Amino acid sequence: MLRHEFQPGRLVAGASLTLAGVLYVGDAADAWETPWFAVIPLVVGGLFLSGAAGLLARMARRHRTPPRPETHPRPETHP
């Protein structure tokens, strides 16, 4: 299996949207009563946290990676 880079922003966004879906499914199945406006702060907060997590991960990734070598050779000057 190929490895891929870890993306914590997508993990947080997926978890918050899954939780919002579970709340609505529980309400639809009459397991509990969820007010219609209760999910809005959950989704907005989850998206905000996912953006913050993605930004922090990108900053950490940029800080750890070494600078790229030059791909274009510098032209030599002859006197």
- Close Cβ partners of 9 (under 8 Å, ≥ 6 residues apart): 50, 51, 53, 54, 55, 57
Nearest to 51 by CA among 7, 19, 21, 18: 7
Instruction: Please state, as a whole number, how many other Cβ atoms lie within 10 Å of the Cβ of residue 43.
Output: 14
User: Model's pTM, two decimal places?
Assistant: 0.71
Mean pLDDT along residues 60-66: 75
Q: What is the pLDDT of residue 5?
A: 83
Cα radius of gyration (the chain): 22
Q: Does 69 score more than 80 pLDDT?
A: no
8 neighbors 54 (Cβ within 8 angstroms): yes
